Amino acid sequence: MKVRLTQIISLLLILSGCKSLQRSTARNNTSTTQTTASKKTDSKFLNEVAIRPGEKNSNYIVHSSPASGSTKSVSSNNSSFNLEKADWLQIKYAIMTDMPVEQLNNLTLLKQMDHWMGTRYCFGGDDEDCIDCSAFTQTLLHSVYGIDIPRTAKEQFTFATRIEDRDLQEGDLVFFRTGRSITHVGMYVGNYKFIHAATSTGVAITDLNDAYWGRKYAGAGRVMH
């Protein structure tokens, strides 16, 4: 009887050990699964923005969100233009402006745009900490084209030569008003896009047909003769 009791106790201990082992194994498996899932999430995150060549190197397909399947093309209108040799800033701003890559050939301008992009707005600011709209256009024109213009948006409007919208070119100024006065200015980059320092976004690229800025648009001017 004592032998049987000893055997039963031993069996219970073995079973108890097995259950503990199962729980431990389950926890380890769960941890491994979570780690694997985390790695997959990281991989997915890293793939949120991807650029791959399109057919016959005529364009690039940009996958901005694999989950939604949304894509955007970076194209070239020139069949002899090799996108593989394009500067990364050309690719980046072709995406942001919906322009053919070869039209974005002013690398000095692109570098300046990239340097200032996202800089916060502050009235009267004129450096990398914060900058206002007219100081930004003044800085761009001086840095990229070696042209000096007045400081305020109103003075720049008076200084520039009026041009029609259909004649807009890179480097032209676009002006906006609230009420009767010119209160805002940006620089045209192409495809009805302009770069400016705005109170809500800081330095950013915006479309002239934007719901807000389109209503405030007052005209364009040229300072490069």
Active site annotation includes 184:
yes
Rounded to whole angstroms, the Cα distance separating 220 from 172 reads: 7
What does each C-alpha distance from 184 to 15, 19, 74, 93, 137 come to in angstroms? Answer: 79, 73, 31, 23, 10
Active site annotation includes 196:
yes
155: helix, strand or coil: helix
Run of H or E including 74: strand 70-75
**Neighbouring C-beta atoms of residue 169, cutoff 10 Å:** 12
The one-letter code for the residue type at 206 is T
Using CA atoms of 84, 88, 94, 100 in order, give the dihedral in degrees to the nearest 10.
-30
Q: Which of 18, 122, 133, 225 is catalytic?
A: 133
Active site annotation includes 225:
no
Give, to the nearest 10 degrees, the angle between helix 88-97 and helix 107-116. 70
Run of H or E including 163: strand 161-163
Catalytic residues: 133, 184, 196
